[in-house]
Structure 1
């Protein structure tokens, strides 16, 4: 994710942000990050439609109830662009401020996990308070799952970002063959996992697919993607994805639908990989036109602001859904229209507008807390000192596994807070945060 979203700006970074970007700092990177996070939020908000039925708050599955909306997921699935931008940023950061691999892993982990710690540190006490006030355990479990349903991104991105030093060396040597090999192997492993019904194998394949997309960010950074490459990616990716869907090998939908035995995203399939390749090819082909737009100061200032807050926006985008859904639908303020009706669709526009306003309020409230927390832990980049690899690995793994657990079980499994996972995550953050303070003191 973006360094600016969690670290206080140094004098050097303030100078960089005030000046025009160097050729290496492509403004399209910030644009892709900003647009992606906004599309992710709108997509999440659109496919969630709370209802109050028989005294309980339920969330119907829109993609299942209104099948034609699965076509909309072709525009809503933008996470490949997120990882592409992440790969570019990681390559730029690694080549400019090359460190020991342990220092790199520590730095990248903090940048991702500090905002996550703030989110968990606020969401969990609220769930605990809801339990103390007598809120139904099933509802608490559903809310806890919803508040962590997007956590899948965290362990995946943490792994590929941490592996940047080794992946970048491999990419420098082998070029485009690295993402091709990662993507091909990942898609093949995923296909085997589906046929053999071994989900754990699919997780490995999915990680390799995301790693391939991340590595394409390296290719973009190193200017290995010519116009011919991009056109070929767009054509080949679109053709292969269409064929796989046409012959019913994989579904059309680019999000998970509960009734589908095979998913394109859980874990990422070959169809997902080809879709991502086509999407990246098209977007980078129009990048020159985007750079002209981003040269306008007013446009660039807005893009930069959204991009810098991308991690915070991503983490908190489900909170307005829970708050507004509970208030409007459980109290009967919002009319109960039939899902898919014309009135229901008009209500969707009002729903999006209300969520956007609430989201701005949430961000305004969260930012000061996050800034204080980050300022207390991240006191310097520690570039003149070394950290112990063993401690970095211990802190990294201690924080990593609870994220994986919450991804599948939510913050409150069956309404019960997962105290061991919370303690484990807190321990990992203490180790990594303490390293940061020690490094700053030593430097």
Structure 2
């Protein structure tokens, strides 16, 4: 393929699949052969401290699999390792591009990057066309009657259901148009080593989710059993379609699992309308809290050595697998921000480094919920008791025994780094002073 032949480019980002892909569907119908593209963005990769980051391995393996599927169709994916802006300078020089298609991304860095690329392409008479693919409803689609965004989940959820029509859940039939892919020889894919990374052998969850939906409400809070789908990694990188997930969930009589997907869209809408919440409290008065930020205690929390077995189990699961059960995410976040009075941003940043399914909107939203500083958050005086949470959600200590085996031997397990009753009273006092100003 050279400058003589016009080509449409489809830019893969957080939509790593051929099936039911909105932007890819529209690209394939454009009338010009479609060249798939993926950029390993140095701006993002250079910020990753862990050169065995499992997310990079997951993306690399997914791209390789995607490329195999494309080979069967006589095509290939062009993979570039560079800063996105530099990569596009080279692509514009190398190809006769009629248009570039991609799907919306909503995080602050992505929005800034896409605006830069859009202007760069425009100077060459090339249009960047983007489509909704990550969510059922986005940005301003679910808003109050006065045009303002919702800041409380329940009325947002109600409006979400009211707006839902069958066509929102209908898949894009990309398969009908795959013949319009550009015919190319196999193109080289940069290795992990070439990008300065090593392969991580942590097992990745599969895409099976249907078997948990019917019992999800009853089982979702118990970390010792497989009561959750663990589909979030695939949702994060778009290896599954949100329309497929929502359609399956909507068909189930109990809507608890679907409501979790709606929470995700709620938080994405909040981040879009209130981008300052990525590093500031949604409720500004919470930025007045005088955090203790004890680095020794923060390290104990990170390492799963707090002396509270339910907290330590959650942190060790995260450190070992890149996953943490949702109930545990709430427990450990509450413990850090309220028991230890450590700034929720410290915890959010740690999760950003460790979680396979890290998604800024949901992570920031969850952390601010736990700290009481966010939209529709738990009130500041709601402080999880680790012991009560254990009795309620791990009564047989199955989860704790798996991740904190030394708990049975008091000589080996650390003593609590803070007394619960003392920490609770201290938290109430500090929050009350900050919020009274």
TM category, shorter: under 0.3
**Structure in which a larger fraction of residues adopt strand:** 2
Question: With CA pairs under 8 Å and 6+ residues apart, which has the higher RCO, 1 or 2?
Answer: 1
**Structure in which a larger fraction of residues adopt helix:** 1
Structure-2-length-normalised TM-score: 0.25
Structure-1-length-normalised TM-score: 0.25
> Quick check: which has more Rg, 1 or 2?
2
